[in-house]
Amino acid sequence: MKNITKSLVMIAAVAALAIGGTVAYFSDTEESTGNTFTAGQLILQ
């Protein structure tokens, strides 16, 4: 019975870490300001 309890606690801990990591990955946001986009021609000789 003690081994089963340890196993269930370990499975729950691993599941919590996996779920937490997934939520953190998909809820991350980045903000980037002051960027410019320039189109042109580059000639290499």
User: What local confidence, expressed as pLDDT, does residue 30 receive?
Assistant: 85
pLDDT for residue 35 = 86
Buried b / exposed e over 6-43, threshold 16 CB at 10 Å, is eeeeeeeeeeeeeeeeeeeeeeeeeeeeeeeeeeeeee
For residue range 1-45, list pLDDT tens digits in order.
889 999 999 999 999 999 999 998 898 888 888 888 888 888 888
What residues does each domain of the chain span? 1-26
pTM confidence score: 0.55
- CA–CA distance, 14 with 35 (Å, rounded to integer): 40
User: Rounded to whole angstroms, how far apart are CA atoms 27 and 17?
Assistant: 15
* Helices (H), ranges, the chain: 2-27
